[in-house]
Amino acid sequence: MNIYVGNLSREVTEEDLRQAFEPFGQVDSVTVIKDKFSGESRGFGFVEMPTKAEAQSAINGLNDKELKERTLKVNEARPRSEDRRGGGRRGGGRRF
């Protein structure tokens, strides 16, 4: 099960997240999302756990808990939509 972890401190590493989730079960992968230009954490990440029961236990155990002075928001990750921009037109300028 893929788990979304939000409200991460900029200092949280993938190893920090792995250590937080491992008491609840096996962790397949951990990814902290980083800004592609600055390389800094964007404040959220994903943890993949193989069994739904362990993942749900981690969600229940870690949601609203503190990690490096920030309160985590932990829930089941939603699948990415096909259109990442959310639709609609963007940009300015006149249209002729």
Asked if residue 94 is part of any domain, the answer here is no
Q: Structural domain of residue 33, as residue ranges?
A: 2-68
Q: Residue 88 pLDDT > 70, yes or no?
A: no
Strands (DSSP E) along 1-96, which ranges?
A: 2-6, 29-34, 41-48, 66-67, 70-71, 73-76
Evaluate if pTM is beyond 0.75.
yes
pLDDT single digits (tens) 8-22: 999 999 999 999 999
Number of domains into which the chain is organized? 1
Residue 8 in domain: yes
DSSP 47: E
41 in any annotated domain: yes
Across the chain, mean pLDDT equals 90
Is residue 90 assigned to a domain?
Answer: no
3-state secondary structure of 82: coil
**d(C-alpha 72, C-alpha 69), whole Å:** 9
| Number of Cβ within a 10 Å radius of residue 66 | 10
**Domain CATH code at residue 58:** 3.30.70.330
pLDDT category at 80 given cuts 50, 70, 90 is confident
Q: Does 39 map to a domain?
A: yes
